[in-house]
Structure 1
């Protein structure tokens, strides 16, 4: 009998709604905290789902992923996880010709020039999720430098990006792919320009709605995935991918590529829990370590 583990964290106050949907659609699965001592080899597939506290324990998390991958199949693969958990991958994708929101990386010990923090910008850590550590700064270079210094004081590299105002009216578009095929899309309302709340503790609450991806958005998402596979061959074999795009005057631009533990926005696309379940089931039954 096929067994699939859905990895979560014990730091969540209650089960994530998406995990509940997936458990119902995938009865051969179990929800297990990555921090706990389980016999991961007993599973045909381990899928990263809601392991959202890894940002504070990255090396421990990556070491756990290596151990799991040594005894069974892990989705997505460890090289992909290691690459994708640091947003410096955006620079590599930009070098591949992907339309990426302009990104400046400032490592501890380095200094951002004034041009990088001029205007309305977002400053956030390169290792982060759920808007943790992200700050919108409006024409205040001093505050931008202060936030960069704060991130550096905690050992983190800072990422600076211009704030694209069209997101306030049009939202951020997320395109979800399963085993290489487009599945569905959702729109996420602007977060940083609003008063953020963290009801679950690990990530900022999001304003989500169903969406129909445009042909242009789908083309950009496909270009992003193809570029990722050129940069990292293991990224050609993905169980799931979420491509987050922002609207701009020049067309959709990549904000983030979520390949590690993304929400897949299943409540907003009819049939998507079943599609996600089938994608994981296919992976578990057709590919053995």
Structure 2
């Protein structure tokens, strides 16, 4: 089976968020896909199968299948555009869990078009914030994640959460964010529940971040930085009930895996 490893949301290898991409002629079992993702031990492994004019796509962390993954979708599109002889500038993906997703190519820039998240305010109780070790100013719950808002970029950069405590929260992951010094906003993403203590760059988290910051900053276009050790850079736009998340990618590895 062919495998690619792509660094997403970066213009150089060894930064951004690495994702494995496995093109398939037909679907293999979920159990085998999960084993491959565990063996890869990356934040996400994407699998896709061509179905007429669409590409069905699924994403796996080392421990679970997830509903939506931005950086691995960007990586899958990068593979199709650059290595799998896809000649159009628009790819139509379909996720059984998240519906229609598109990726467009303009030069080297790839743009994801994803559904917007919905946010509900959360009361800042000690039970909610325990594990972050720094108190946020606001809290919200999206479809799958908690969002915590802080006053300053330095708080995001210096945050040292208790992952054991966070792993017990009933969500996919935890987004923390603040206004940026050199970008409109910054963020980090913690997901010990999904087998990843900290995700380097999280496209899907920006379906939550973009509508929040659109309301806060009263505009629709943003620059964003995810402040993991590897860092990631994203251009973002709110499009009514959809979001556009754009970035670059680099290929690190092309190879073959043997599963029998």
> As a proportion of its length, which structure holds more strand?
2
> As a proportion of its length, which structure holds more helix?
1
TM-score for both structures, normalised by structure 2: 0.26
Larger Rg: 1
